[in-house]
Amino acid sequence: MLIPGAVFAGPKLEVARKGAYVYWFTYKDPLGDSQVTMPQRFKGRSADLDTASLSDKSSDAKLHVMDKATGNTAIADFAAPKPGEKPKPIKLKASDFEYVQSVRLRIVSKDGEPIESASVRIIDGEGRAIQSVVTPADQGVAAFQDVATGEISVKVNAEGVTKTIDSDITLPEKRKTPGFEEDVRVAGDVNTLPVPKGEKKQAGGKAAKETGGSSGLIFQSIVALVFIIVVIAVIYAIVKSKGVTKQDLLRQLGMQQQGEQQVPVAGTVPGPAVDPNVCQFCGQRKDAMGNCACSVTPGTTPYGAPAPAAGGTPRLVGTQGAYSGHIFELTAPAMVVGRESGDIVLSNDSTISRKHVTISESGGVYTVRDEGSSNGTFVNGARITEQKLNPGDEVQLGGTRFRFEV
């Protein structure tokens, strides 16, 4: 306890190992608010501590000393000397530097995606319980300060979590960086966030920064270019050795040169004439503007009117993602679509929630309703809670897109 009304004379700090250090004080001001002094640097094995920033009514003061070489910190109680008494030196042993200033645990699902929100509790190497809260703004990271090294137990509490897989981790005394970072995986149907840009998921749920980006791509591009040049040179040498001219080669590839008339080869049957008014991709006739069925914006005709009904069973047609090309017919008045349960199960897309949407019909009108999914439901690019569906509308669930057809 500090003596009110006293001015503190700075004691001498002595450390066991010569090196570079940073020290600071934490204390409570007269109002009981926590305060921190400006960090001070020193080199060697001793320093005269600057205590001028401490108020004469401060309390619960602690001295923090960080070894810059290891990143470890020692924490000692600081008591003011009695009036007229010479301050005693503060001596720190090597074993006192047992705390890690910054510990960041990235809470991820088994697929390596950061969890949206959670409460994380650890027991550090001294047996102290420390808690941290993860919010969507933290990208799955639970941050802790002044954690004792050694074996650490981790417990994650969050919606859908059934087990903390990495419940025991080791906080080493010797590290490559001053702080410590580690992935902690959890099991269960949890709400997650997309993996941040610039990171990639690894096997076992680990996420790592992509390294060697620009230099690696440049090297790969050069290798690919050299390979293409070599292939072209080999082909050219083979063709030239057989006396084949450029015109002959182009004709064999079905390419007609400018000013050259295509002459049917004897013994062959001319192919069917190509109608320029019919799209070669979707088989539909083009309108006056040259548009066809595959060039029309979903939900509209070339003139902006609603797409005409096909006259068949209502259905979802996959256009992008894991279910591209798949067709799911809507055969009941209300059908649930989800990853694990429902009338339409989309288990191949992990970004779709267990129960994602319900598509219902009433009086010939179809409606899609989001069931509280993690990644949302989008109709024609806009996120919705409940929305009427028109033929041709694009419905996006997670990373999969469908076209609604009637």
Summarize the confidence of residues 178-207 as an average pLDDT: 76
**Phi-psi region at 281: left, alpha or beta (left = phi > 0; alpha = psi -120 to 50):** alpha
Summarize the confidence of residues 41-70 as an average pLDDT: 88
Summarize the confidence of residues 17-32 as an average pLDDT: 91
- Give the pLDDT of residue 120: 96
pLDDT of 311 over the 90 cut:
no
- 352-390 residues labelled b (16+ CB within 10 A) or e (exposed): bbebbbbbbbeeeebebebbebbbbbbbeeeebeebebb
CA 376 to CA 372: how far, in whole Å? 7
Range from 181-185, 209-213, 261-265, 334-338 carrying the lowest mean pLDDT: 261-265
Residue 369's Cα: distance from chain center in Å?
27
pLDDT tens-digit readout, 138-150: 999 999 999 999 9
Helix, strand, coil shares, percent, the chain, to 5: 10, 40, 50
Q: What is the mean pLDDT of the chain?
A: 80
Predicted confidence band at 249 (pLDDT cuts at 50, 70, 90)?
Answer: low
Summarize the confidence of residues 127-141 as an average pLDDT: 93
pLDDT of 265 over the 70 cut:
no
Summarize the confidence of residues 70-89 as an average pLDDT: 82
Predicted confidence band at 264 (pLDDT cuts at 50, 70, 90)?
Answer: very low
More confident residue, 246 or 59: 59
% residues pLDDT > 70 (the chain): 73
- Give the pLDDT of residue 296: 44
